[in-house]
Amino acid sequence: MAHPDLNALLNDLLPFAKRMLTEFGEFHPFGAAMASDGKIALYGAYDGDEHPPAQRLIDMMTQAYHQKAGAGEIRAGGICFDVRTVPPGQTEKTDAVCMALEHRSGESVAVYVP
């Protein structure tokens, strides 16, 4: 069982990802962070490129979250992105949404939803 803060982030990230997939069929990586007071805000990254590499956006958000966590501004953060993965019991890769979540306590989890 993940930390309740991580579950709260997951509960904000997944519905937004599903909505983007339903409306647009894809999405750029995006994230959510829980402030020290428990409020959650969604975040994105932009580097000036209309179609940036996903890893660049992930790296930008990761760096921003680490800075905010180091300053005591957030207690948890998560980044949501699309991946290809082999689900348990399967042999073929399928599209999935990954939510990489981390808490200031050191707990981290990656959740994959086909």
Q: What percent of the chain has pLDDT over 70?
A: 99
Lookup: tokens for 83: 């991946």
| pLDDT in the model for residue 104 | 92
| pLDDT in the model for residue 51 | 87
Query: What are the boundaries of each domain within the chain?
Result: 35-75
In one-letter notation, the amino acid at residue 75 is R
Q: Which phi and psi angles does 81 have, rounded to 5°?
A: -155, 160
Q: Which phi and psi angles does 72 have, rounded to 5°?
A: 80, 15
Tens of pLDDT, residues 16-54: 999 999 999 999 999 999 999 999 999 999 989 888 999
Secondary structure (3-state) at 14? helix
- The DSSP secondary-structure symbol of 13 reads H
